[in-house]
Structure 1
């Protein structure tokens, strides 16, 4: 199945789905992490298109080697490969960057925003940690559970929430100090 001009030159790979089905996809990139490798694979799926008609779209996700298998006889030497340098350690790894995916409004489903770690979905703009946290606080926003976005921000989110609560407490105490006759709500 031809996945279009963008797929030309991107080698095929077998992708093992959560229900153990095996489908043919494309290998877009691979990156070394401290515990091994991750592979960015894309599979062609249906999505709602114009006027509610189904149209093909590629869904990309980073998977472990347990969820991808090479196609016999296919060369992967030209796949973009990002290796850890010999001096990289977990504390020296670059901090993650994030991107936003805007999910359009459709009848019966309000629009939403999905936060991804860079590389999970294509995007022309990256976000800093502060921008990612701010985006995640917006209504109908969530972190992608397929990439590291869901795991890369929770500690930061909790810290930001604690800082916000601490600041609120300080503000409340400050108001009480300036107007001692008032009782707090």
Structure 2
């Protein structure tokens, strides 16, 4: 088994802005890029109870927003702080946007008997909250019941109709 020869990161000082217009010098351990900016992992100085009645120095680590909660200190270099970059979106994600959650839900309509309701995509605004998520096969079974319709607002109709009716139905001359 091999061990990593990478040295343990050495924290650098940074000013952390606290609530109540307070500021404290802390340790900057890492930086992380997120979709809406940056987070910095800082180690705030603190005390903790030790054995017996002793009190010992400690560090409280927390991720804070940058630059809202941190300020650089004078001539300190932050070049060697470990940085975790956000993975760039794939070409498909850039072109099509984020993926929708998979699955469908059935909104039951009033009345008796099976097959009365509407099949929605999971993320549809009209989908019932807390309804069980249906697999493709279950959604198709529900959609084939008389009295059940497919929601056209969320695209359930566009997604499931070709599977129910066959893909060639839209290409007849």
Structure holding more helix per residue = 1
Q: TM-score, normalised by structure 1?
A: 0.43
Q: Which has the larger radius of gyration?
A: 2
TM-score computed with the length of structure 2 as normaliser: 0.46
